[in-house]
């Protein structure tokens, strides 16, 4: 859950919101949210472990394709968030209070939440751009320095940018925090009191990457469709381009489904109506972000062709073993 909307909720007409008798508090649905998140968390962790075990068993097979690198960054980020930060959220949902209730923990909680969500969003943003390179100018990655400049460097920046940015505005920026330990994340950190800094964070770290993912994906679909009509492209290459496009669309769709509601309503709240869907956003849309990390392992599972082959082989062996066991049991029963 992001406190960016808490900031939007407080910067204008807070009296109107406080006087609204129909406002629903988070605590009304705490236990329902806890049960849903905890159930999904267990399944998500098991799926992540299955993927990691197969990657460790055959590392070169999964890691060598350069187009898979962003998926592994997302998987690692997802696993860290689901096993650690989400447990912090569940602790709040269980007790109704952030514990331990102190300044240091609240600072870390906000930084950890914002950083992990930001890493996933910006890595996904870069992946949509890089997919154009992989499909249309892949040869540049055959040159080592270009591979570093156009692949590893942008991926590293996408991974390190948000922890660095929020490390500064949360830990270093000079302002006084006023925490409410009965709100998730202890409410918003004090840098949101600076409306310019808050607007920059909202626009650059949410609005721009979220809507850019949509735009870049649309452009990619158009380019791939147009190129597929070229007689100079082999059928094998067309199939590969289509698979790479579908893989990106499946993963990016997960991000768009859960990020766009917050991005769109937040944009409307900031520039048109500060109370637009504020209760729905505060009680529902905030928590949708966690389902990106919870569902990501399953989406990656069906998006990695190498992993799908491993699953098919294991299923085939399992069915074959069951047939042999059933046959042997039938034979013994006949003899008996």
Tell me what pLDDT residue 185 has. Answer: 87
Q: Do 74 and 120 contact (CB within 8 A), yes or no?
A: yes
- pLDDT score for 262: 81
* Tokens describing residue 82: 């689901």
Q: CA–CA separation, 257 vs 118, rounded Å?
A: 16
Check if the beta carbon of residue 244 is closer than 8 Å to that of residue 131.
yes
Look at residue 332 in the predicted model and tell me its pLDDT: 63
Q: What's residue 328's pLDDT?
A: 58
Rounded to an integer, what distance in angstroms lies between the CA atom of residue 80 and that of residue 24?
31
pLDDT in tens, the chain (336 residues): 444 544 444 444 333 344 444 444 445 578 888 999 999 999 999 999 988 888 888 777 777 778 888 989 999 999 999 999 999 999 999 988 998 999 999 999 999 999 999 999 999 999 999 988 888 887 888 888 988 998 999 999 999 999 999 999 999 999 999 999 988 888 889 998 888 888 888 889 988 998 899 899 989 888 888 877 765 667 777 777 788 888 888 888 888 888 888 878 877 877 787 777 777 777 778 888 899 999 999 998 888 777 767 777 767 677 777 666 655 565 665 665
Give the C-alpha separation, 240 to 246, whole Å.
10
Q: Per CATH, is 26-315 categorized as 1.20.1070.10?
A: yes
199-to-7, 123, 190 alpha-carbon distances in Å: 10, 22, 13
Ordered alpha helix ranges (H), the chain: 4-11, 14-18, 30-57, 59-63, 69-80, 86-95, 103-136, 144-147, 153-167, 195-202, 208-228, 235-271, 278-280, 286-303, 305-335
What is the three-class DSSP state of 232? coil
Q: What is the pLDDT of residue 241?
A: 77
Domain spans, the chain: 26-315
Asked whether the beta carbons of 278 and 22 are under 8 A apart, the reply is: no
- What Rg value do the Cα atoms of the chain yield, rounded? 23
DSSP state at residue 231:
T
pLDDT for 78 equals: 93
pLDDT for res 74: 92
pLDDT at 172: 94
Looking at residue 124, its pLDDT comes to: 92
Reported as a single tens digit per residue, the pLDDT across 85-136 is 999 999 999 988 998 999 999 999 999 999 999 999 999 999 999 988 888 8
Within 10 angstroms of residue 89's Cβ, the number of other Cβ atoms is: 22
Question: Among candidates 228, 226, 224, which has minimal Cα distance to 216?
Answer: 224
Predicted local distance difference test score (pLDDT) of residue 26: 46
Q: In terms of Cα–Cα distance, which of 276, 255, 261 is closest to 8?
A: 276
Any residues with CB less than 8 A from the CB of 176 and at least 6 apart, and which? 190
Q: How far apart are alpha carbons 169 and 37 in whole angstroms?
A: 29
The C-alpha atoms of residue 108 and residue 86 are separated, in whole angstroms, by 14
DSSP 96: S
């Amino acid at each position: 859950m992001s406190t960016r909307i808490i900031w939007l909720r407080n910067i204008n007409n807070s009296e109107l919101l406080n006087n609204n008798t129909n406002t629903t508090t988070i605590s009304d649905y705490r236990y329902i949210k806890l049960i849903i998140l905890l159930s999904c968390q267990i399944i998500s962790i098991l799926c992540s472990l299955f993927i990691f075990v197969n990657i460790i068993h055959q590392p070169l097979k999964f890691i060598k394709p350069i187009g898979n690198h962003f998926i592994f960054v997302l998987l690692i980020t997802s696993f860290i968030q689901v096993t650690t930060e989400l447990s912090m959220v569940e602790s709040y949902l269980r007790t109704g209070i952030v514990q331990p209730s102190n300044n240091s923990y609240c600072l870390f909680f906000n930084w950890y939440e914002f950083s992990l969500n930001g890493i996933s969003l910006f890595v996904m943003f870069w992946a949509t751009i890089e997919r154009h390179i992989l499909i249309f100018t892949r040869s540049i990655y055959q040159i080592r320095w270009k591979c570093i400049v156009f692949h590893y460097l942008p991926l590293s920046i996408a991974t390190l940018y948000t922890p660095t940015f929020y490390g500064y505005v949360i830990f270093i920026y000079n302002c006084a925090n006023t925490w409410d330990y009965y709100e998730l994340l202890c409410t918003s950190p004090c840098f949101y009191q600076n409306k310019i800094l808050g607007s920059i964070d909202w626009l650059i770290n949410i609005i721009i990457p979220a809507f850019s993912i949509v735009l870049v994906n649309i452009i990619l679909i158009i380019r791939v469709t147009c190129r597929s009509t070229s007689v100079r492209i082999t059928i094998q290459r067309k199939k590969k381009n289509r698979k790479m496009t579908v893989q990106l669309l499946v993963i990016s769709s997960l991000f768009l489904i859960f990020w766009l509601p917050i991005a769109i309503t937040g944009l409307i709240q900031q520039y048109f109506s500060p109370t637009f869907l504020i209760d729905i956003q505060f009680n529902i849309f905030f928590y949708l972000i966690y389902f990106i990390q919870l569902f990501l392992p399953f989406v990656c599972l069906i998006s990695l062709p190498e992993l799908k082959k491993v699953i098919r082989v294991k299923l085939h062996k399992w069915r074959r073993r069951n047939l042999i066991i059933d046959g042997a049991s039938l034979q013994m029963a006949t003899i008996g």
